[in-house]
A and B are shown apart, each in its own frame.
Chain A
Amino acid sequence: MSEEIKQNSYWKSLKELSQNEEYKKYTEREFPEDASEMTDQVSRRSFLRVMGASIALAGFASCRRPVQKIMPFSRMPEDRIEGEPMYYATAAPFQDVLTGLVVQNSDGRPTKVEGNSEHPASEGRTDIYDQAGIIGLYDPDRSRHIRHNGEQASRDQFIDFASSHFADTGRRIAFLSEASSSPTYRRLRQSAEERFDNMSWVTFEPFDEEESLEGNRMAFGRRLRTVNHYDRADVVVALDNDFMNPFGHKDSVSNAARITRRRRVRSTDDTMNRIYAVESTFTNTGSFADNRLRLKASEIEPFIYALAARLSQQVNGLEAFANLNNRFSGHDWIEAVAKDLADNRGASIVTAGEQQPAAVHAAAAAINLALGNINETVSYLEVPHQGEESSRDALRQLVDQMRAGEIDTLVLTGTNPVFTAPADLDFESALEQVDTVVHLADYVDETSRNATWHINRAHYLEAWGDGYSYNGGRSVIQPQIRPLFDGVSEIEFLNLIATGEWADGYDLVRQTWQEFIEGNFEQRWREILHDGIDSRDNFAEADVSLDGGFAAAISPHLSNNGIDGIEITLKPDATLYDGRFANNSWLQELPEPMTKITWDNVALMSPATARNLGINPDRHLRDTDTSVVRIEADGQAVEIAAWVQPGHADDSITLTVGYGREGIGRVANGVGVDTYPLRTSDALYVKPADVTLNGRRYEIACVQDHHNLEGRDMIRKATIAEYRENPEFASFESFHGFEVPGLKEGREQGIDHPVTLFQPQDYPDHQPQWGMAIDLNACFGCGVCTIACQAENNIPVVGKREVGRRRMMHWIRTDRYYEGDEENPKALHQPVPCMHCELAPCEQVCPVAATVHSDDGMNQMTYNRCIGTRYCANNCPYKVRRFNFFNYTKEFLTTGDDPEIIQMAMNPDVTVRFRGVMEKCTYCVQRVNRAKRKSRLETGSLKPADGMVKTACQQACPANAISFGDLTDNESTVSKDKENERNYVMLEELSIRPRTSYLGKLSNPNPDLG
């Protein structure tokens, strides 16, 4: 704009007016100010049209209802009850895997995702990314328009462009795509390949499966996907592999479910698997393991070679490693692990993390083969959508071609290479050499800002799609709502480019599925949509044998001995992954499962490394800030807050990516530090670096300031051997050596509780009585319970400053304690919701009786009665009560110009809380009451059958650690858990009788490793 037009100045032409900033802002907003006053202009006809459409589509994809005018249905759609949510099966794509979901759809808008128990990758459970999908959908900062050279454009304009531009089929076209398992997407790719004469296709994910595919190629000659059946293994050796967490492995939900199934010890006769973890940073899988060895990430390679060499003495097939001698040969761990593996042939798994080099994966595959684990505990799948070439090489070639001006048109779907591609490729400058760049993206991100066309993408909850689970289960993704911002799905986008014509996603998917469905299409199609899964095993299991060239291929790697000096490890972030969830406020505020840090990424290092750098690892309780370090590698440097992680490998620093964004959205902007500049294509994950203290301090919002249990009895644990000797190890008496004070006197009075002055608030004659048990032997601290609870219970996001002041609002938190040696501690996880004490101390002190007990044994919070003295929170020994110090909900729900968007994420069954009131876990009382109503209607009893009520945390938990139900039903799971000898309650001596109890933690360490 050459001459500045002042506000309120006269305009001469419409063009000039349209350049007025004020006017531009006005037109860009979807719900202009004073929209409510403009409703008269909405004609009755258009209103009926909208309503008609919503009724017509209610069967499959429910619609947004108009915001301004609400009219009752003149004819009620069948099967629809106002206020009763509908549940639809769908699936969440993440990279090239799908997780089956059941989405709760309240009044036409998805409000909560839950796992689909029919789906093999979910089995009814979910991970944090799935749970946060809801707030991802209603993110008001998502891109809302198609943009052409930064200017807003219409879809028709883009369609016109696409049909004319791509009509020239001889163009040099390159496609750069995110990983996708969708058969429709694959079909469209093929049609593009047929249409365009000079096209290339590159799949790019910053964190992918490439190393393990290449490792399997090295071992077996083919790029195969590794599937570990953790439920079948007695011994698991995880090498730098956080396979239980979604940022560690694509199939984490299923992995966690399977491995914890082997640890569901309910009696002394039950057995337990044994997990070894060898890793650099302290992961949840490492904390769950029975034995953990901390090694630098680069030392995993010599470690596995030494292990293979040691095993070659006992089993055949590892001749390639025979006679190898390196720094780990003769290590205690090598001896102990090799013995355990050799004793458990066919029932063990050796697995390496995705950030380990291909040779490590190859060695792991060879070990599994030699141990006879293949087809027992490990299988290999042929995954059709994973190409035969390394995508790394393909990307490098593509960038070279771009730079040479050989690419005319670049089409990018989903991926954001300007931000995520290895720094040495300098993707941004290469992009300048391309004439036309078309980018489909959720946000106007780093790549979109350099693109000719930015196409706003539809969220998976608002678009049709399909795909495969990790193991090959095929599903259809069905939308839950019409696209909020008229987004375009990746298949619609690709179809437009491949055919030059627009087609709806629905038709595209159905067209693909004609091939899969035999017989009556409509009937089977409906069944598939209903079930959320078609057929399970669509990937052929490969019959593998060691490749002839294996010994030769691996031999050049065998001399690798790790990096000397300080190395850095670049990992996907626990909550933001590669940065794709950067604008997701639930994930930003979810504490990182080990460090408990929110809203930031840090440089993790061991206490010893910190001392060497001049950082004092001891933190005072009042410290909120931490030293900043400068990390320099290959001429690139980042300055990032240092954080001491006990149990981290020395001389190793873990960094996570995805932060330091600008121009993405209100949540992502300015949070954390971008560490991608340190990533280069020759060393994507691990490289040496120079680290110096830079003298600045940086504030970190960490939700847990004290990490030592101080010898207290909150977490009670035993090894499996100790458990067999003393099954009552978790009792108060076993822990302390004396009985709970007052218990004797209580028994004399004929009660099996300590004596109390208070009138018990449990109503023993009333049925049901609710209770919860949390199995600490299953919990590995992933934090999905927290985010599921947040989604279910309308918990607001409060932001970094408030979290830093210890005012987080999460109703269920996971406490993490370190125990033992500072350099190599154990980490213990404990989810803590409200305990629903029968003699609740909070209830006694509230001056206005705002927190009271219900007949069915729940401690309830009456928000409307609360005046906010916070006395209850003070008197809560578990500190589970959360106070609205500010009007958090209002701030959270009135973000931006059109707060209606984010408000749609709220669960209509749960009150949103205002400033000045206390809140806390309700045992999902809305779910309990719904189940009671349903039970009353169906059976006439107010006592729902066991399993009918699942709390949000319980439902999401991949480890099945939480049981909830009726305590008056002796057959209910929770009653059985509470009868278990491992059951204990926290702070039993206070005689407040919590309804939430814990099952003591067990471990199965190798006695040879002390």
Chain B
Amino acid sequence: MSKTYEYVHEPTLVKGDHDFKSITALITDINLRPTPKAWYAAFGVANLLLLVMLVSIAYLIWEGTGIWGLNTPANWGWAIVNFVWWVGIGHAGTLISAILFLFRQNWRTAINRFAEAMTIFAVMCAGIFPAIHVGRIWVIYWVFPLPNQMAMWPNFTSPLLWDVFAVGTYFTVSTLFWYVGLVPDLATVRDRIKNGIGKKLYGIFSLGWRGSNRQWWTYEKSYMILAGLATPLVLSVHSVVSFDFAVSVIPGWHTTIFPPYFVAGAIFSGFAMVLTLMIICRKIYKLEEIMTIDHMEKMNIILLVTGMMVGFAYLMEVFIAWYGGVEYEKAIFALRASGPYAWAYWLMIGCNVLSPQFFWVKKFRRHIGLTFVISIIVNIGMWFERFVIAVTSLSTDFLPSSWGYYTPTLWDVLTYVGTFGLFFTFFLLFLRFLPMVAVAEVKNVMPQADPHNYDEEGNYIAPKVEVPEPKRES
């Protein structure tokens, strides 16, 4: 005896009355239209911030890391916090495009393109910090294993060296993956653009794409392979970043929970950032029908899940500190909650653990304003998580005599704020010149792309599947 089930009809991913042509127009017209004035205004602001960053870095190199608020117990401060934070943000894009791709989550198509762009720009912002925070930036190349006459290699036991490789690999693969996905869409823009120079440039970068069956086949295989390659990197890059802390002996750093905890936190903050950007972009570029409330709701569920994972990690850390019985470990967690940096700790708990709890309620999950606010709160919270980890552990470690408070200076703040300039400069250029939604992929998940399950009138008929009744031993 078997039973016949009917598939539940999933809501369509693209709302509104769209066919392939209108989708193409909706997305690529953004690139083909004359540049709006508002874009110039935003680009101007972003450039100004970029200038702030460049000036801050120039002054830093001229004067030395002393311009920051670093001191002897807290030899790392905002620079490392910002690095981990930006790398964390850079997690969402590749996760959305690679992991969700492998899991056949079709809703990813609406957001994967600009989430990946965000990833690449965030990793660029992140990469700046480890480079500039060193005392002698002019010899930073010594961290690379370059053959030299002294046979002097870097120290392969140092997690900072692993960082160099992990972040470098992640950036390379993410960029490749993003670019491969862009090729068919670049060809679309090439075909539609009137401007001669534009046509040439898009032509060059679309690598002679003609949309032949053979090309599609190659494209999809390579996309799949890159997704397979990128997937472990999503997990490894933040695990390796967490080793910077976990491999040390400092209480509050030296914990085995760090790799999964960091990855969960990174996804958490990355999704929050995607949400923030998505909510703005869909409004401005009128893409509400592609980036729908359904998408937002799905992402809010991920926020809720990862937020809870992070919350669990916070609890676990405290539990293990108590259960492990190491006095310095116990002390550091007591100090985080009640010591000189208690304000940062409770801010972190409030932002990361409490604020996503709204998303238990469907109404809140689908509320644009609330989602926007919480996505920003989460990113503030995640910045403070890294601050709490990096700074509190250093400032109150083993010997009470060396305890000291860390306060950032104006230059710490300006350098951080300046990286937003870099990020938004690139992001605005991306919005302007590249299709911000993967046109070909969105078309792929539209009902029109599926030749089956329609009656003669073109109405959808849910497929029926026979499932055998499970055998029961009586």
Contacts and interface: CB of A to CB of B under 8 A. Distances in A.
A binds B: yes
Nearest to B395: A621
B340 interface: yes
B36 interface: no
A148 interface: no
B327 A885 contact: no
A847 B154 contact: yes
Interface in B158-209: 158-161, 164
Given A869-B160, A886-B63, A917 B136 contact: yes
B232 to A, nearest CB: 23
A916 B134 CA distance: 7
A866 to B, nearest CB: 7
B158 A883 contact: no
A887 B64 contact: yes
B66 A807 contact: yes
Interface in B416-431: none
Given A710-B331, A841-B249, A875-B248, A885 B403 contact: no
Contacts of A867: 134-136, 139-140, 142-143
B35 to A, nearest CB: 42
A877 B249 contact: yes
B38 interface: no
A620 interface: yes
Interface in A885-904: 885-887
Nearest to A808: B72
Given A705-B405, A709-B400, A841-B248, A868 B65 contact: yes
Interface string A777-811: 00000000000000000000000001001111000
B443 interface: no
A712 B340 CA distance: 19
Contacts of A936: none
A841 B331 CA distance: 21
A882 B135 CA distance: 12
B397 A879 contact: yes
Nearest to B245: A874
Given A832-B399, A874-B248, A866 B157 contact: no
Interface string A621-643: 11000000000000000000000
A817 interface: yes
Contacts of B164: 847
Nearest to B61: A916
A992 interface: yes
Given A817-B401, A886-B66, A915-B64, A992 B249 contact: yes
A848 B142 contact: yes
A50 interface: no
Interface string B247-271: 1111000000000000000000000
Nearest to B143: A847
B70 to A, nearest CB: 7
Nearest to A841: B249
B394 A874 contact: yes
A865 interface: yes
A805 B399 CA distance: 18
B63 A865 contact: no
Interface size class of A (residues with CB under 8 A): 35 or more
B398 A987 contact: yes
Given A709-B400, A712-B400, A817-B401, A883 B135 contact: yes
A805 B134 contact: no
A334 B346 CA distance: 54
B160 A870 contact: no
A815 B399 contact: yes
Interface string A502-544: 0000000000000000000000000000000000000000000
B152 interface: yes
Interface in B108-143: 130, 133-136, 139-140, 142-143
Nearest to A916: B135
A848 B63 contact: no
A869 B134 contact: yes
B27 to A, nearest CB: 44
B399 A886 contact: no
A990 B397 CA distance: 13
A615 interface: no
Nearest to A830: B401
- Highest count of chain A CB atoms <10 Å: which of B72, B155, B340, B405: B72
A324 interface: no
A105 to B, nearest CB: 34
B177 to A, nearest CB: 28
B72 A879 contact: yes
A806 B152 contact: no
A873 B394 CA distance: 10
Interface string A855-881: 000000000011111110111011101
A705 B75 contact: no
Contact of A805 (B69, B130, B142, B326): B69
B81 to A, nearest CB: 13
B453 interface: no
A897 B399 CA distance: 42
A877 B250 contact: yes
Contact of A806 (B72, B248, B326, B400): B72
B252 to A, nearest CB: 12
Contacts of B249: 841, 875, 877, 990, 992
Interface in A698-724: 704-710, 712, 714
B254 to A, nearest CB: 9
A879 B402 contact: yes
A844 B72 contact: no
Contacts of A989: 326
B407 interface: yes
10 contacts: A621-B404, A622-B405, A802-B66, A815-B401, A846-B158, A847-B143, A865-B142, A869-B130, A870-B70, A877-B250
What 10 pairs between A and B have smallest CB-CB spacing? A868-B135, A916-B135, A885-B66, A815-B401, A806-B71, A870-B75, A879-B402, A622-B405, A849-B155, A916-B136
Given A848-B142, A866-B135, 13 more contacts: A712-B399, A712-B400, A806-B72, A845-B160, A845-B247, A847-B143, A869-B130, A871-B75, A873-B75, A874-B248, A878-B399, A887-B64, A916-B136
Interface of A: 620-622, 704-710, 712, 714, 802, 805-808, 813, 815-817, 830, 832, 841, 843-849, 865-871, 873-875, 877-879, 881-887, 915-918, 986-987, 989-990, 992
Interface of B: 63-66, 69-73, 75-76, 130, 133-136, 139-140, 142-143, 152-155, 157-161, 164, 244, 247-250, 326-328, 331, 339-340, 394-405, 407
